[in-house]
């Protein structure tokens, strides 16, 4: 698009310059004008059917669908003229004539575009006096429920399954006012990316079974984060209600996940709400582990580590910041670090280049390797006799206590106390992924920030803070007050991270200096077939 000709036009009195071929709707966005629409979605082919985005184009005989009309030099577009407003009012009234108006019991209420635009510019009353059509709700399988009475037939869901998932599971059945979204008996919405239709649905017609009745939209706190569940690093919004993560939804990033995230990642959030946590710093006394204060626990850990060789079993869920500080621990005593990663089947989303649920199911595999941790299947294989074993975020699942016995001493820096770490002499409880701030590096070497979505329980502290204090107590490092300071230190120590900072990363991320130049592209909106 570098060579694309620039077209100049006027939208709502503002001058806009955009590349040739841009639609009026997208051009208006660049001027900060949102043209109301339903069927249009930048990640899907254009349908042009809802007729909501009609705008007045000077000298054109009819109102133009702005989603399907490309800009022309000198064009004068009116989005909020009387004619356009009247047409949209008409569409809104028609969309509501058969709608059950059941907002009080609808999951979408509060984040419903039908609600929003009706409040914004719809009629106060309806002139419809006839019986409403009715179709029962249907379980579409997977995580999806369909409530046809609320459906506005925008066909975003059908186009997603056809043109992005490449598995036409949904259709428009029947025609005219009898039309509704349908599927084939026995062929469910089990495609690994199918639940995106719930996000795409602008109204309350497609709902998530998982989220059903969990919260009203206005009760949610929303946090920009990264999906921790595989190495793709899909940008997400983590939503909490009363400090519980209740939903993850994709946050657009054309370089990573376009507008989508997979079902597995989306639904795999319950572990972040884990109730049985290590909540207090503990030190081993005569009668086993006893709770103590942070100062005492940190000094105890520093004493254990000082002058010893540390073997670090890290979790690839940890942030770049924490892994970086762990490498400082290693270097202090000439130790080493290792990690393992859970694997599953890769499940690509064919309509978007280089986007998949990845085989490796953790957020920071690439970062861990980059920072010098060795990926292994035998987590404790390299543990030398008498080494200090530092368990950092690892749950030691499936590992026998006897494997740990080789260690001279054990320090646990985790959110959950692993059973196999029974002989630990110090436990430093840390926040989990949803409770702290940091960065992770995805499989293409893109560094992305995540922020704190929920309050950590008890006396738990963020991992970077705990590790910084520990290094401080060992006299190796100044204490840190912010994760951005840790990252700044990382950027000056590791050439791959050179020049990066929280400010430059923003919330869209940046590739490592030596990352291969690849990345997914948003599916390009094309004209209807």
Partner 1 sequence: MGYPHHPHPRETTVLSKHFGEADARTLDGWKKRGGYKALEKALGMQPVDIVNVVKESGLRGRGGAGFPTGLKWSFMKPGDGKPHYLCCNADESEPGTFKDRELMRWTPHALVEGCAIGAYAIGAETAYVYIRGEFTEPLHWMEQAVKEAYAAGIIGKNAMGTGKRIDVHVHRGAGAYICGEETALMESLEGRRGNPRIKPPFPAVSGVFGKPTTINNVETLIAAAPILMNGGDWYKKMSLSNPKSTGTKLFSVCGNVQRPGTYEVVMGFPFKEFLYDLCGGPLHGRKFKAVIPGGASVPIQTMEEAEGTLMDYEGFVAGGSMLGSGGVIVIDDAQPMVTVIARLARFFAHESCGQCTQCREGTAWTTKIVERIRDGEGTIEDLDTLLDIAEQMTGKTICVLSDSCAVPVVSGIKKFRGEFEALIQGRRFHPVTAAVA
Partner 2 sequence: MTPDLVGGLESPDYASHDRAAHEPYTPVFTGAVKHELDELLTHYPTKMAALLPALWIVQRERGWVSEEGMVEVAGFLELTPAYVKGVVTFYTMYHQHPVGKYFIQVCTTSPCGICGAEDVVKALLRHTNAGELGITSQDGRFTVIEVECLGACGFATPVMVNEEFIESMTPEKVPELLARLP
Q: Which stretch binds partner 1 (CB under 8 A): 50-58, 250-258, 300-308, 415-423?
A: 50-58
Q: Write the CB contacts of 86 (distance below 8 Å, at least 6 apart in sequence).
A: none
Contacts (CB under 8 A) with partner 2, residues 305-364: none
The number of residues that bind partner 1 (CB under 8 A) is 36
Closer residue to partner 1 (CB): 162 or 435: 162
User: How many residues does this entry show for the chain?
Assistant: 529
CA distance 54 to 87: 7
CA distance 482 to 317: 19
50 counts as binding partner 1 under rule CB under 8 A: yes
- Which residue in 72, 172, 291, 525 binds partner 1 (CB under 8 A)? 172
Of 272, 271, 260, residue with least CA distance to 192: 260
Closer residue to partner 2 (CB): 153 or 256: 153
Contacts (CB under 8 A) with partner 2, residues 161-200: 162, 167-175, 182-185, 187
Half-sphere exposure of 422 (CA within 13 A, CB side): 10
Closer residue to partner 2 (CB): 10 or 171: 171
Angle between helices 320-333 and 463-473 (to 10 degrees): 20
Closer residue to partner 1 (CB): 62 or 521: 62
95 counts as binding partner 1 under rule CB under 8 A: yes
- Which residue in 25, 55, 153, 200 binds partner 1 (CB under 8 A)? 153
- In angstroms, the first-to-last Cα distance of the chain is 22
What is the per-residue binding string for partner 1 in 490-529, x denoting contact by CB under 8 A?
A: -------------------------------------xxx
159 counts as binding partner 2 under rule CB under 8 A: no
Q: Which stretch binds partner 1 (CB under 8 A): 169-177, 262-270, 403-411, 497-505?
A: 169-177
CA distance 448 to 234: 10
Q: CA torsion 423→426→432→435, rounded to 10°?
A: 160
CB of 366 to partner 1, least distance (A): 41
* 50-66 residues labelled b (16+ CB within 10 A) or e (exposed): bbbbbbbbeeeeebbbb
54 binds, among partner 2, partner 1, none (CB under 5 to 8 A by kind): partner 1
Of 374, 523, 353, 327, residue with least CA distance to 444: 353
CB of 60 to partner 1, least distance (A): 11
Largest distance between two CA atoms of the chain: 89
CB of 493 to partner 2, least distance (A): 53
CA distance 68 to 172: 21
Q: What is the DSSP string of 24-66?
A: HHHHHHHTT-----SS--TTS-----S-TTEEEETT-SS-EET
CB of 121 to partner 1, least distance (A): 14
CB of 96 to partner 2, least distance (A): 25
CB of 350 to partner 2, least distance (A): 14
Residue 367 region by backbone torsions, left for phi larger than 0, else alpha for psi between -120 and 50, else beta = alpha
Angle between helices 463-473 and 483-493 (to 10 degrees): 70
Closer residue to partner 2 (CB): 180 or 200: 180
397 binds, among partner 1, partner 2, none (CB under 5 to 8 A by kind): none
CB of 485 to partner 1, least distance (A): 54
155 counts as binding partner 2 under rule CB under 8 A: no
CB of 130 to partner 1, least distance (A): 4
Measured CA angle at 87 (ends 81, 91), to 5 deg = 140
128 counts as binding partner 1 under rule CB under 8 A: yes
Q: Which residues bind partner 2 (CB under 8 A)?
A: 162, 167-175, 182-185, 187
Q: Which residues bind partner 1 (CB under 8 A)?
A: 46-52, 54, 61-63, 65, 68, 87, 90-91, 93-95, 97-98, 127-128, 130, 152-153, 172, 174-179, 527-529
């Amino acid at each position: 698009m570098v060579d694309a000709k620039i077209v100049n036009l006027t939208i709502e009195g503002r001058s806009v310059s955009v590349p040739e071929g841009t639609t009026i709707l997208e051009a208006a966005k660049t001027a900060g004008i949102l043209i109301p629409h339903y069927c249009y979605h930048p990640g899907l082919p254009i349908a042009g059917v809802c007729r909501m985005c009609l705008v007045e184009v000077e000298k054109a005989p009819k109102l133009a669908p702005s989603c399907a009309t490309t800009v022309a030099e000198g064009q004068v577009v009116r989005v909020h003229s009387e004619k356009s407003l009247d047409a949209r009012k008409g569409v809104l009234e028609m969309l509501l004539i058969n709608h059950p108006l059941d907002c009080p019991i609808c999951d979408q209420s509060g984040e419903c575009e039908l609600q929003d635009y009706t409040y914004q510019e719809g009629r106060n009353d309806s002139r419809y006096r006839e019986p409403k059509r009715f179709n029962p709700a249907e379980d579409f399988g997977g995580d999806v429920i369909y409530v046809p009475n609320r459906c506005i037939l925008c066909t975003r869901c059908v186009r997603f399954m056809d043109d992005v998932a490449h598995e036409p599971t949904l259709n428009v059945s029947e025609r005219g006012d009898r039309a509704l979204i349908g599927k084939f008996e026995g062929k469910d919405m089990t495609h690994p990316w199918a639940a995106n239709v719930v996000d795409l649905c602008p109204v309350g017609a497609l709902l998530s079974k998982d989220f059903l009745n969990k919260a009203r939209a206005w009760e949610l706190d929303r946090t920009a984060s990264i999906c921790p569940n595989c190495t793709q690093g899909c940008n997400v919004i983590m939503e909490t209600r009363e400090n519980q993560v209740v939903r993850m939804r994709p946050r657009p990033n054309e370089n990573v996940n376009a507008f989508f995230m997979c079902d597995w990642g989306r639904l795999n959030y319950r572990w972040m709400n884990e109730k049985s946590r290590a909540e207090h710093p503990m030190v081993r006394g005569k009668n086993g582990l006893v709770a103590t204060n942070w100062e005492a626990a940190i000094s105890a850990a520093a004493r254990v580590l000082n002058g010893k060789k540390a073997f670090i079993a890290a979790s690839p869920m940890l942030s770049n910041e924490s892994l970086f500080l762990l490498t400082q621990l290693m270097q202090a005593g000439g130790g080493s670090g290792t990690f393992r990663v859970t694997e599953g089947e890769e499940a690509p989303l064919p309509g978007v280049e280089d986007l998949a649920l990845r085989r490796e199911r953790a957020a920071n595999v690439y970062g861990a390797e980059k920072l010098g941790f060795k990926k292994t299947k035998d987590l404790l294989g390299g543990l030398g006799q008498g080494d200090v074993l530092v368990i950092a975020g690892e749950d030691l699942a499936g590992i026998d206590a006897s494997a740990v016995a080789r260690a001279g001493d054990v320090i646990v820096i985790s959110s959950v106390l692993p059973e196999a770490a029974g002989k630990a002499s110090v436990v430093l409880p840390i926040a989990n992924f949803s409770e702290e701030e940091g960065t992770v590096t995805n499989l293409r070497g893109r560094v992305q920030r995540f922020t704190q979505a929920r309050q950590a329980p008890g006396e738990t502290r963020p991992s970077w803070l705990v590790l910084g204090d520990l290094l401080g107590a060992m006299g190796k490092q100044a204490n840190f007050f912010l994760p951005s300071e840790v990252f700044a230190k990382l950027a000056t120590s590791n050439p791959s991270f050179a020049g990066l900072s929280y400010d430059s990363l923003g919330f869209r991320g940046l590739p490592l200096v030596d990352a291969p130049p690849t990345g997914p592209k948003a599916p390009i909106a094309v004209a209807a077939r």
